[in-house]
């Protein structure tokens, strides 16, 4: 059976990738920071087929030797692990840029050393859209790259870390004849497999509590009615598997299903869950940016996505089951 390594296996998106790989018959090597942390990783052991085909390895992104051990014998790697800020960071160089960039370098070098066939790197829509030089009337696609200098000057550290590490990964692949593909998801909502709320689902939790606080500095303009690009975590996992399995996949893929204003999202949530206390009186964004992008390249690879209503209903269901919502 083919072996695939998933970095940061206990995370929100990575857990769904592990679940889908196991369901399709793969053997999975998952890297985690702490093998004994049941709160963060215990849910992985409960997945169907985990007992027979899931093997967890202790390794973080800065542990090159540990990554080599985890990746050894694998045909492919899906690199999901990344530091995500909860608001403003004290030392962006140490907390965001270094772990993401050095970590991706370590993963790429480990893949080269262990003779991996294919690597799928999870980047971000924020590695695409933060480009003030992009023509306003031109649809954003995979040819658009965020301006890393602009991101750092604007203190968009997650954005900067993603665009720099994605560029390096794709260039490393070309230079070393390693098949590297990048998938760039937007804000990921949907059901959780673990009991700990992730950065993006905290957005929903905050809205239910009457706070328009995005917990992600790339979006966090608390009183403004900003555009929110959304993709379901299950559709994101599906995109990653398509990028891995399809021999024709190449380059980068924009992965986002829905785009709506915060006020529109709040109204949809009100219709579905009327008994919560939602934020009111949001003003129009001073930046007035309407993100106009296309996911045509990913759709041509065979991708499709769920309705936003299904995503939101399933998000709330699992948050309630985890005791995060009344």
Predicted confidence at residue 83, as pLDDT, reads 73
Let me know if residue 267 belongs to a domain.
no
Predicted confidence at residue 131, as pLDDT, reads 94
Residue 106's domain spans which residues?
Answer: 3-190+230-257+292-304
Q: In sequence order, what DSSP letters do the residues of 27-63 get, joined into one string?
A: EEEEEES-TT-HHHHHHHHTSTTHHHHEEEEE--TT-
What angle (nearest 5°) sits at the alpha carbon of residue 20, between those of residues 17 and 25? 125
- Which residue out of 118, 156, 162, 238 is catalytically annotated? 162
Let me know if residue 112 belongs to a domain.
yes
Let me know if residue 67 belongs to a domain.
yes
Q: In sequence order, what DSSP letters do the residues of 222-245 get, joined into one string?
A: TTEE-EEEEEEHHHHHHHHHHHHH
Q: Is residue 162 annotated as part of the catalytic site, yes or no?
A: yes
Predicted confidence at residue 217, as pLDDT, reads 47
The label of the residue with tokens 């129009």 reads 284
Q: For residues 282 and 222, is the Cβ–Cβ distance under 8 A?
A: no
Predicted confidence at residue 259, as pLDDT, reads 94
pTM of the model: 0.94
Predicted confidence at residue 73, as pLDDT, reads 98
Task: Please name which of 17, 106, 97, 119 lies closest in space to residue 69, comparing C-alpha atoms.
Answer: 106
Q: What is the DSSP letter of 119?
A: E
Length of the chain counted residue by residue:
326
Let me know if residue 310 belongs to a domain.
no
Sign of CA dihedral 128, 211, 93, 152: positive
Count how many domains the chain has. 1
Let me know if residue 262 belongs to a domain.
no
pLDDT in tens, the chain (326 residues): 899 999 999 999 999 999 999 999 999 999 999 999 999 999 999 999 999 999 999 999 999 999 999 999 999 999 999 876 555 667 877 778 888 999 999 999 999 999 999 999 999 999 999 999 999 889 999 999 999 999 999 888 889 999 999 999 999 999 999 999 999 999 999 999 998 888 888 889 989 988 866 544 455 455 677 889 999 999 999 999 999 999 999 999 999 999 999 899 999 999 999 999 998 877 665 555 667 899 999 999 999 999 999 999 999 999 999 999 87
- Residue 142 belongs to domain with CATH number: 3.40.50.720
User: Between the CA atoms of 158, 164, 169 and 170, what dihedral angle is there, to the nearest 10 degrees?
Assistant: 120
Task: Please name which of 99, 180, 117, 136 lies closest in space to residue 288, comparing C-alpha atoms.
Answer: 136
Let me know if residue 311 belongs to a domain.
no
Let me know if residue 281 belongs to a domain.
no
123: its two tokens = 């980047």
Predicted confidence at residue 185, as pLDDT, reads 98
Q: Would you tell me how many other CB atoms lie within 10 Å of the CB of residue 3?
A: 18
Let me know if residue 45 belongs to a domain.
yes
Predicted confidence at residue 226, as pLDDT, reads 82
Predicted confidence at residue 196, as pLDDT, reads 87
């Amino acid at each position: 059976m083919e072996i695939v390594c998933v970095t940061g296996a206990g995370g929100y998106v990575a857990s769904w990738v592990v679940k889908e790989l196991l369901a399709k018959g793969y053997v999975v090597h998952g890297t985690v920071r702490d093998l004994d942390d049941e709160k963060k990783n215990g849910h992985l052991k409960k997945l169907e087929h985990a007992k027979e085909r899931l093997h967890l390895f202790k390794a973080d992104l800065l542990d090159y030797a540990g990554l080599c051990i985890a990746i050894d014998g694998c045909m492919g790697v899906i690199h999901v692990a990344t530091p995500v800020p909860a608001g403003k960071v004290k030392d962006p160089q140490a907390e965001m840029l270094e772990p993401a960039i050095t970590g991706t370098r370590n993963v790429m070098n480990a893949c080269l050393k262990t003779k991996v066939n294919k690597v799928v790197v999870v980047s971000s829509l924020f590695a695409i859209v933060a480009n003030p030089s992009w023509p306003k009337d031109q649809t954003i696609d995979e040819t658009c790259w965020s301006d890393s200098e602009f991101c750092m000057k604007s203190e968009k550290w997650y954005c900067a870390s993603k665009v720099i590490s994605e560029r390096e990964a794709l260039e490393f692949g070309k230079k070393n004849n390693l098949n590297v593909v990048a998938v760039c998801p937007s804000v990921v909502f949907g059901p959780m497999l673990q009991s700990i709320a992730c950065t993006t689902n905290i957005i929903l939790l905050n809205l239910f509590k009457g706070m328009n606080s995005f917990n992600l500095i790339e979006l966090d303009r608390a009183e403004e009615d900003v555009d929110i690009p959304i993709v379901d975590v299950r559709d994101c996992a599906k995109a990653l598997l398509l990028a891995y399995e399809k021999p024709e996949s190449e380059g980068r893929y924009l992965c986002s299903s829905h785009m709506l204003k915060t006020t529109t999202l709040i109204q949809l949530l009100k219709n579905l869950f009327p008994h919560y206390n939602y934020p009111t009186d949001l003003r129009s964004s001073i930046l007035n940016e309407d993100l106009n992008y296309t996911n045509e390249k990913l759709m041509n690879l065979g991708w499709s996505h769920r309705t936003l209503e299904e995503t939101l209903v399933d998000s709330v269901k699992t948050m309630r089951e985890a005791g995060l919502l009344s």
